[in-house]
Amino acid sequence: NIGIKRRLRRFFRRDGRALIFAMDHGFEHGPEDFNEVWEHIKPKIIIRKVVRAGIDGVMMLPGIARIAADELKPDTGLMIKLTSKTNLRPKEDQLLQSPLGFVEDAIKLGADAVAATVYWGSPYEDIMMKQFAEVASIAHDFGLPVVQFAYPRGPYINEKYGKKEDYRVVMYGARAAAEMGADMIKTYWTGSKETFAKVVDAAAGVPVLLSGGAKAKNPLEFLKVVYDVIEAGGAGAVVGRNIFQRENPEPMIKALLRVIHRNEEPEEAAKA
Ligand code: FBP
């Protein structure tokens, strides 16, 4: 499918790697995620900053994309996420992501990819599988790549594996995403290069991107994780809080780009 191939290139450089900025937090976590740098709640302001710093792509929900799309460069990849949940729901219902838009909305916004989450192991896994299958089927008809946020989550995962970041279950989710036909997979850090390499293997050639996670206290700490992701064969990272919770996100973005695209050691990249 040539459309899928062409659109994937808007995210991935020739090296097959990408740094994508994530900003769906106002919905998924709530506006309080912006407390650290409140002006970043304004989509145009933060998107302008990340684009200027050289980000490869951005991931947003449809309404924010409509507000901030003007700030993107013609070659900035635009990923529109079509499922989410709020933190306002009862705890157990937070194990379900619901549809909030349609593939056609994303196409109208000029999207280069659409995304949907599956919480593997959740009691609502079945619903999210169907949602992902529907998004993928329609998107693929239009030549649009589909990204799966493949997140193991739920009581059974905790009982059996102790934590959702255990590599055995992260690799299971990545494999399931690949088997469903995802064109990119976004998932958790498993804690080591060796275990993340297993996740990459399980994904059977589908690019695996790190899901950034909570802001690291020390930028170097986060750069080291991303370095290991790349060493493990990962295709890059989708990063939100580690970027927008910094007053000036540029040094972090530039350092991440050096680690991802130039294989620079974290200490070197941080100095530049
Ligand atoms: P971060 O880099 O801030 O972790 O962003 C990635 C992301 O997947 C967002 O897209 C999403 O809102 C958030 O993390 C979900 O985090 P969690 O489900 O762990 O609360």
Q: Is any ligand 1 atom within 6 A of the Cβ of residue 26?
A: no
The residue from 81, 85, 164, 186 that is catalytic is 186
Question: What percentage of the chain reaches a pLDDT higher than 90?
Answer: 99
Binding site membership of 166 for ligand 1 (Cβ less than 6 Å) = no
Read off the pLDDT of each residue in 109-117 and give the average, rounded to a whole number: 98
**CA 15/CA 12 separation, integer angstroms:** 7
Helices (DSSP H) in the chain: which residue ranges? 2-8, 25-28, 43-52, 62-68, 103-108, 125-141, 155-161, 167-180, 193-202, 219-231, 241-244, 250-262, 266-271
- Work out whether the CA dihedral 6, 9, 11, 16 comes out positive or negative: positive
The answer to whether residue 272 scores a pLDDT higher than 90 is no
Could you give the angle at the alpha carbon of 236 between the alpha carbons of 231 and 240, nearest 5°?
130
Pull the structure tokens for residue 11. Answer: 């995210």
Q: How many CB atoms lie within 10 A of CB 5?
A: 11
Query: How many other CB atoms are found less than 10 A from the CB of residue 75?
Result: 11
**CA 213 – ligand 1 centroid, Å:** 6
Look at ligand 1, atom 12, and give the residue with the nearest C-alpha.
25
Is 271 designated active site?
no
pLDDT category at 115 given cuts 50, 70, 90 is very high
Ligand 1 pocket test, candidate residues 24, 221, 245, most atoms within 8 A of CB: 24
Check if 94 has its Cβ closer than 6 Å to any atom of ligand 1: no
Q: Is the pLDDT of residue 81 over 90?
A: yes
**At 74, phi and psi to the nearest 5?**
-55, -30
Q: Residue 158: CB within 6 Å of ligand 1?
A: no
Residue nearest to atom 7 of ligand 1 (CA): 211
Question: What confidence score (pLDDT) does residue 184 get?
Answer: 98
Ranges of H-type helices in 109-245: 125-141, 155-161, 167-180, 193-202, 219-231, 241-244
pLDDT, tens digit, 9 for 90 and up, residues 221-247: 999 999 999 999 999 999 999 999 999
Here the tokens at position 236 are: 């890059």
DSSP state at residue 215? P
Tell which atom from ligand 1 comes closest to the C-alpha of 213.
Answer: 4
Task: Describe the crossing of helices 43-52 and 250-262 by its angle, rounded to 10 degrees.
Answer: 40
Q: Are 21 and 59 in contact (CB under 8 A)?
A: yes
The alpha carbon of 2 and the centre of ligand 1 are apart by a number of angstroms equal to 30
Q: What's the CA gap between 128 and 34, in Å, rounded?
A: 28
